[in-house]
Amino acid sequence: MAHSIRSHNPAQELCGVSLNAPMAHIKVLMCYAIPGRVVGLEDRIAFVDYFGETKKARNDFFQLSIGEYVYAQGGFVIQRISESEAKAVLNTWEELFFKLKEIDSDLAQNPKDLRQKANLIRQKHQGNSCCVHGIIEFSNHCRCDCLYCGIRSSNTAIERYRMTVEEIIDAAYFAISELKFKALVLQSGEDTWYDEDKLLAIVQGILRKSPALLILSIGEREAGLYEKLYQAGARGALLRFETSNPDIYSKLRPAHNLDERINLIKKLRDIEYLIMTGFLIGLPGQTQDDILSDIQMTNSLGTDMFSFGPLIPHPQTPLSGVPCPSIDDTLDTIARARIMNPDARILVTTSMETIDKENALRSGLLSGGNSLMVDVTPAKYKKLYDIYPNRPGMDAEVSETIASVLKLLNSIGRAPVDLGL
């Protein structure tokens, strides 16, 4: 598989955002990656320098030479760029890069409680980078009947949609070329209408037009299919195990069993996908000990990115009457996960925003989180991916959402980039 290397204007590569204090004096141009210079090559690993800091990234897609400039994402080199383009972007980043680190480090000092301690661990081990991934929810058809989920097969009240292969490729192209995302999650219900041919056409079609780290979130499909999609260039798999408690699992996911899901996640790991997994907080019958086991299980799967969030009861599901967990419980879970795994990315999910619209992102990022997703599903489909109610940002323009995310990151000293391992 070869990514196309297009020549383009470096100024277009930058996302301009006007910001308030504390960085108002700096002309801020943000984007989701900083170019790095290849300073070493060893088998499949490229050593990439960012302002004097060297990180590793797997080089699966290019014949690289020392001295070349690249973008890396999630630990993979995903794009090669020219020196002049890289230098133009780096010039705009240089002052900001160090300023943001300073703000982050100042905020993390003198921790007083569990969440602040977790934030300091994040700052020490992970620095101030925060991955910002786009997500396209391309179908809400699902063959599963999970008791918690609004798109469960027996919910007849929901309007179903499927994006065509072309629509998905176009939406991805827009997210990568116009909105400047470097990593994109493709999520759907477990929808076998997308067979091997269609899924391969989607992955190949996207990568032919625009280089990106593609992450699949398509449910329990055959390992062989995942293997082919990996060969086509997909590199991430997002598949939550939902709960480590087998009894709760089998009650909430009829006709499924936990071992099968865990085995699939392990197979995906063996294929060498980046693994994103996790669980739901607030399931009926779940205890604090279960949540600690959930964190341990996430760790034991060799997870690159934790993805967990509160259960938001959906009115058309059997769990409609279950209480929502509190934002405090959710933030403490982020903090515990961070303390138990200093090195993983931890996603602050949109479901957390549903229970605390104003502050969840900021609080999650200051409790150990260092990753966010922005919904880039085309407006006409967005609201229909109704896995839980009151999802944030449904009426906002995606550009507004991006601007407010970047503003938030800037205010707490986080760079919206993923520098690699």
Which positions lie near ligand SAH, rule CB under 6 A? 148-149, 187, 189-190, 217, 219, 239-240, 242, 280, 309, 311-312, 314, 351, 387-388
Give the residue with the Cβ less far from ligand SAH, 189 or 364: 189
| Least gap, CB of 271 to ligand SAH (angstroms) | 16
Give the residue from 108, 110, 46, 102 showing the smallest Cα distance to 75: 46
Give the residue with the Cβ less far from ligand SAH, 56 or 251: 251
| Least gap, CB of 314 to ligand SAH (angstroms) | 5
- Cα gap 8→392, rounded to integer Å: 34
Give the residue with the Cβ less far from ligand SAH, 34 or 136: 136
258 within 8 A of 283, measured Cβ to Cβ? no
- Longest pairwise C-alpha distance within the chain: 59
Nearest residue to the partner ligand SAH, using Cβ: 219
Give the residue from 241, 177, 226, 214 showing the smallest Cα distance to 74: 214
Give the residue with the Cβ less far from ligand SAH, 119 or 350: 350
| Least gap, CB of 374 to ligand SAH (angstroms) | 16
| Least gap, CB of 251 to ligand SAH (angstroms) | 15
* Rg, the chain, Cα only: 20
| Least gap, CB of 313 to ligand SAH (angstroms) | 6
Give the residue from 326, 398, 396 showing the smallest Cα distance to 355: 326
What are the Cα distances from residue 356, in Å, to 331, 353, 392, 412? 11, 5, 10, 18
361 within 8 A of 372, measured Cβ to Cβ? yes
- Cα gap 66→88, rounded to integer Å: 19
Give the residue from 37, 31, 27 showing the smallest Cα distance to 8: 31
| Least gap, CB of 228 to ligand SAH (angstroms) | 18
Q: Which tokens belong to 410?
A: 């800037």
Q: Which tokens belong to 183?
A: 């990593």
Question: Quick one: how far is CA 384 from the chain centroid?
Answer: 21
| Least gap, CB of 284 to ligand SAH (angstroms) | 12
Give the residue with the Cβ less far from ligand SAH, 59 or 243: 243
| Least gap, CB of 309 to ligand SAH (angstroms) | 6
The DSSP symbol for 280 reads: E
> Measured at the alpha carbon of residue 57, what is the angle toward residues 53 and 62, in degrees to the nearest 5?
125
